[in-house]
Amino acid sequence: MREVAIIGVGMTKFGKHEETLLEMFGDAVEEALLDAKVSPKEIEAVFFGNCLGGFEEGQMNISPFGASVLGLKDIPTTRFECACATATVAIRYASLSVASGCHDIVLAGGTEKTLVMGTPFATRTFAMASDSRYEGFSGITFPGAFAMMAMLYSKQYGIPLKTLKERMAMIAVKNHRNGARNPKAHFRKEITIDDVYNSMMVADPLQLYDCCPFTDGASAVIITTLEKAKKLCPKPVVVAGTGQGSAGSLLDQKDLPRLRAREVAAREAYKQAGLTPKDIDVCELHDCFTIAEIIASEGLGFFDHGKGSEAVEKGETDIGGKIPINPSGGLKARGHPIGATGAAQVYTIVKQLRKEAGDFQVDGAKVGMVDTLGGDFSVVCNLILKRGW
Amino acid sequence: MREVAIIGVGMTKFGKHEETLLEMFGDAVEEALLDAKVSPKEIEAVFFGNCLGGFEEGQMNISPFGASVLGLKDIPTTRFECACATATVAIRYASLSVASGCHDIVLAGGTEKTLVMGTPFATRTFAMASDSRYEGFSGITFPGAFAMMAMLYSKQYGIPLKTLKERMAMIAVKNHRNGARNPKAHFRKEITIDDVYNSMMVADPLQLYDCCPFTDGASAVIITTLEKAKKLCPKPVVVAGTGQGSAGSLLDQKDLPRLRAREVAAREAYKQAGLTPKDIDVCELHDCFTIAEIIASEGLGFFDHGKGSEAVEKGETDIGGKIPINPSGGLKARGHPIGATGAAQVYTIVKQLRKEAGDFQVDGAKVGMVDTLGGDFSVVCNLILKRGW
């Protein structure tokens, strides 16, 4: 397998967009192409992420149109859909296609336009990422599933719910603080712990500010061989390891606060990269709810199981901390356009490693990790990125 | 790249099913695993095809549940969607994952349940595979697009419409004759040219029997390295070449009767296989409408452009002819469960090469081709399969 590197990244500002799915994608790709200094003609394949185009714009089979918008003709274009992990999976396959010698330069990314649906319909369509046979009609929603996870976490590790709630609120505060420094974030407003406590209850113990928003946006990544990358740009970012894991419905999950799919995915990514959690300098992970950030920080091996919330209280996940988590603001503040989220996480890590993250830069970040969770725990995709210079 | 082979195939009977998407998929996979004589535990990744699960069963993110139904835990599972070419694309990526050394044994396939939607809603959701920005709302439907193609074909090649219509009807008759011999076909009823002429007009010149049906069904394929395949089964079928091409909306198509996406895809597949159209002994191609079979037979290089319909009249595409096309009955009679169709085409070719096709066997078939078209001409995926023994 050949070594693979990212040479260009782009993303729209996340938030409310009037542009269409493909217009947003075009904007993100244009930025990525300019960043990589390659012309559209050089792109050999498109790995396209989108979850709900059928419901958002009556558009299935979106990948060829995504390519044609950029004047990319004839080349293989494929739509990937793995719920919230969609774009990360697309980038993983794009990387494998280059690693294997199948292609030399490819484009991967995603686009999503959830706000056009309005909250009730968006909630219903998002819920289709859970197991429709057993979950939806029994009344389990995503906030409900993560609320149960929080309750179970509190009980399993003997952390009083009051303490856990306060630490979860600290995550919301941290991610909003980070998002306020990120010009592309959906929410650029700092909040306080009291704001979290005073927000609407969604699913006990999760309040509104424990939940990430619906968001519109697109993001894109240009990938080539490390050999070629070194000739094309001064700061290629190596895709050092990738991992992907799966699990069935909630019924199949034996130990909810420890997600098998993540452990499998992370293990594979670390193995491929020849690295351990201690080597990671910065991480963008899947904080769809504040409890999800705690669970992920443990699953990726940054903290022992049951210790993730304590680490938040100690500031270890702050931008200046031991392992800065979600310096972009995460799903919570940068926003969560599902099929585009993974590529936005990659965008952030690439900017961090290149020291181009501006006000939310993590000093001296050389190795970064991306973690994206799809559905209620059924898909996890991890990428480990490192400096290639 | 390693040589890759198919060691097991399975499919449900196509037609109306009471089973769910995942139950059908489970049935197809069970047959494929038994055929391959491998246990579910040996499967390292799932490449899952489905187009409209969100509309059919409120199920997005279906791939992890597809794996868990089979007791497959933890492994990477990915949903692919490229309209009607969905399963073919999934099989192409599955093949690449084995060729590249990423995996040793993988499962690919698809499932679709269109009849549950009823014809009006199924028509509307299928139409989402065209370019939603320019086509749907201007009144162009798939039957309309293929009808225009037939009109243009008649004009471009100077074939009177009456003659073309008769030859198209001959394709319907041939494919129904073939389907009648295929125990897994949706329609097992022979028809006459008069039946076609007496059927309802759908979009002039296409009548009802020029159109393939909506169908429920699932199909699956087990893929491994040729080296491993030779140890596991007496008749491994080699994936000798794959190709995938794309195009934008109808507006971008310069010469409708010659689809660029197909020419690109087929050229790549032939190149990889080191073969030419003359080497193909049997072909399953995308006859969503009778005119589509003519166009495809030319695009794949079996006949000169403008000569495909004449070849039908001469019987050259019959089971005993020069190049038997759609011996399974094709989309027209075997049926067209969109996300499963490509895997069913592969199923047929594998059975043909192994001499296990029973009443629709093509004598001495050693090399076969699969052709699947997605949307109104925006995605084409081709596979060339040959005997590996």
Convert the pLDDT of each residue in A76-107 to its tens digit. Answer: 999 999 999 999 999 999 999 999 999 999 99
pLDDT confidence of A136, banded at 50, 70, 90? Answer: confident
Name which of B132, B260, B375 is nearest A58 (Cβ-Cβ): B132
Q: How far is A65 from chain B (nearest CA, A)?
A: 5
pLDDT band at A139 (very low <50, low <70, confident <90, very high): confident
Between B134 and B265, the more confident residue is B265
Average pLDDT of A125-152? 92
Residues of chain A contacting B83 with CB distance shorter than 8 Å: 60-61
Note the pLDDT of residue A342.
98
- Interface contact A246-B73, CB threshold 8 A: yes
Say if residue A274's pLDDT is above 90: yes
pLDDT above 70 covers what percent of chain A? 100
Residue A386 has pLDDT above 90, yes or no: yes
- Set of chain A residues whose Cβ sits within 8 Å of the Cβ of B128: 53-54, 58-61
Q: Which stretch of A218-232, A283-297, B249-263 has the lowest confidence by average pLDDT?
A: B249-263
Whose structure tokens read 């990360």? A88
Band (B168; pLDDT cuts 50, 70, 90): very high
Report d(CA B62, CA A91) in Å as an integer.
Answer: 19
DSSP secondary-structure letter at B82?
B
* B265: Cα within 13 Å, side-chain hemisphere: 34
Percent with pLDDT over 90 in chain B: 92
pLDDT at position A332: 98
Which residues face A141 on adjacent strands? none
CA distance B84 to B147: 18
Q: Distance between CA A260 and CA B316 in Å, rounded?
A: 55
Average pLDDT over residues A103-122: 94
Contact yes or no for B128 and A68 at CB 8 A: no
pTM for this structure? 0.98
How confident is the model at residue A83, as a pLDDT?
A: 98
Q: Write down the catalytic residue from B84, B233, B288, B381.
A: B84
Going from the C-alpha of A51 to that of each of A57, A123, A268, B145, the distances in angstroms are: 11, 13, 25, 27
pLDDT class for B250, splitting at 50, 70, 90?
A: confident
ipTM: 0.97
Q: Tell me which of A61, A96, A259 to substitute to probe the interface with B (most B C-beta atoms closer than 10 Å).
A: A61
Q: How much is the average pLDDT of B57-74?
A: 94
Q: Is position B336 annotated as part of the catalytic site?
A: yes
* Residue range B365-382: mean pLDDT, rounded: 97
Once rounded to an integer, what is the mean pLDDT over residues A269-298?
98
Residue A334 scores a pLDDT above 90:
yes
Match 């669970």 to its residue by tokens.
A295
Angstrom distance (rounded) from CA A295 to CA A253: 14
Ramachandran assignment for A302, one of left (phi > 0), alpha (psi -120 to 50 degrees), beta (any other): alpha
pLDDT band at B22 (very low <50, low <70, confident <90, very high): very high
Least confident among A188-202, A247-261, B186-200, B295-309: A247-261
pLDDT at B136: 81
How high is the pLDDT of residue B256? 86
Q: Which two tokens stand for residue B348?
A: 């047929």
Of the listed ranges A17-26, A111-120, B278-287, the one predicted with least confidence: A111-120
| Interatomic CA distance for residues A250 and A140, integer angstroms | 10
Closest CB from A20, A81, A82 relative to B133: A20
Give yes or no for residue A256 having a pLDDT over 90.
Answer: no
Chain position carrying tokens 């004598």: B363
The CA distance from B273 to B275, in Å, is: 5
Q: In the predicted model, what is the mean pLDDT of residues B268-277?
A: 98
| Pairwise CA distance, residues B207 & B354, whole Å | 36
Does residue B15 sit in helix, strand or coil? Answer: strand
What pLDDT is stored for residue B300 in this prediction? Answer: 98
User: H/E element holding B230?
Assistant: helix B226-232
Give the confidence band of B138 by pLDDT, cuts at 50, 70, 90: confident
Predicted confidence band at B252 (pLDDT cuts at 50, 70, 90)? confident
**Distance to chain B for A9, nearest Cα, Å:** 24
**3-state class (DSSP) for residue A380:** strand
Distance, in Å, from the CA atom of A384 to the CA atom of A273, rounded to the nearest integer, reads 7
Place of tokens 């070719």: B349
The residue among A344, A351, A261, A367 whose CA lies nearest residue A86 is: A344
**A79 contacts B80? CB cut-off 8 A:** yes
Are A205 and A164 in contact by the 8 Å Cβ rule? The answer is yes
Place of tokens 């504040």: A290
User: Are B74 and A260 an interchain contact pair (Cβ–Cβ within 8 Å)?
Assistant: yes
| DSSP codes of every residue in B140-200 | --HHHHHHHHHHHHHHHTT--HHHHHHHHHHHHHHHHHHHHT-TT-S------HHHHHHSP
Helix (H, G, I), strand (E, B) or coil at A112: strand
* pLDDT for residue B120 is more than 90: no
Asked whether residue B79 carries a pLDDT value surpassing 90, the answer given is yes
What does the pLDDT look like over A24-81, one tens digit per residue?
999 999 999 999 999 999 999 999 999 999 999 999 999 999 999 889 989 999 999 9
Q: Would you place residue B210 in the very low, low, confident or very high pLDDT band (cuts 50, 70, 90)?
A: very high
Mean pLDDT of A229-239: 97
User: Which position has the token pair 């490693």?
Assistant: A353
Look at residue B172 in the predicted model and tell me its pLDDT: 98
Q: What is the pLDDT of residue B206?
A: 98
Please check the confidence at residue B186 and state whether its pLDDT lies above 90: yes
- Output the pLDDT for position A138: 86
Q: For residue range A192-213, what is the model confidence (pLDDT) as tens digits?
A: 999 999 999 999 999 999 999 9
Q: Which residues contact A245 (CB under 8 A, 6 or more apart)?
A: A260, A261, A262, A263, A264, A265, A268, A379, A380, A381, B74, B75, B76
Higher-confidence residue: B256 or A225? A225
Asked if A98 and A4 touch (Cβ cutoff 8 Å), the reply is yes
Asked whether residue B308 carries a pLDDT value surpassing 90, the answer given is yes
State how far Cα A276 lies from the chain centre. Answer: 20
Region B243-248: what's the mean pLDDT? 96
State how beta strands B77-81 and A77-81 pair.
Answer: antiparallel
pLDDT band at A228 (very low <50, low <70, confident <90, very high): very high
CA angle B53, B57, B62 (to 5 degrees): 45
**Which of A8, A5, A3 shows the shortest CA–CA distance to A351?**
A8
The band of B119, judged by pLDDT with boundaries at 50, 70 and 90, is confident
pLDDT of amino acid A250: 87
Helix axes B142-156, B161-180, angle to 10 degrees: 130
Tell me: pLDDT of A276 over 90: yes
Question: Contacts of residue B99 in chain A, CB cutoff 8 Å?
Answer: 100
Contacts of B115 (CB under 8 A, 6+ apart): B16, B17, B122, B214, B215, B216
| Region B314-336 average pLDDT | 98
pLDDT > 70 in chain B, percent: 100
pLDDT of B140 strictly over 90: no
CB contact under 8 A, A74 and B264: yes
pLDDT in the model for residue A140: 87
With beta carbons under 8 A apart, name residues in chain B contacting A67. Answer: 246, 248
Closest alpha carbon to B93 in B227, B193, B239: B239
User: What's the gap in Å between the CA of B239 and the closest CA on chain A?
Assistant: 15
A83 and B102 in contact by Cβ < 8 A? no
Q: Tell me the mean pLDDT in the region B256-274.
A: 96
Check CB contact under 8 Å for A68 and B100: no
Please give the single-letter amino acid code of residue B346. Answer: V
Name B268's Cβ contacts closer than 8 Å, sequence gap at least 6: B241, B242, B243, B244, B245, B382
**Which residues of chain B are within 8 Å of residue A244 when distances are taken between CB atoms?**
76, 78
Residue B295: per-residue pLDDT: 98
B107: Cβ–Cβ under 8 A, 6 or more apart, which residues?
Answer: B29, B32, B43, B45, B46, B47, B72, B94, B220, B221, B222, B223
> B206-207 and B201-203 as β-strands: parallel, antiparallel, unpaired?
antiparallel
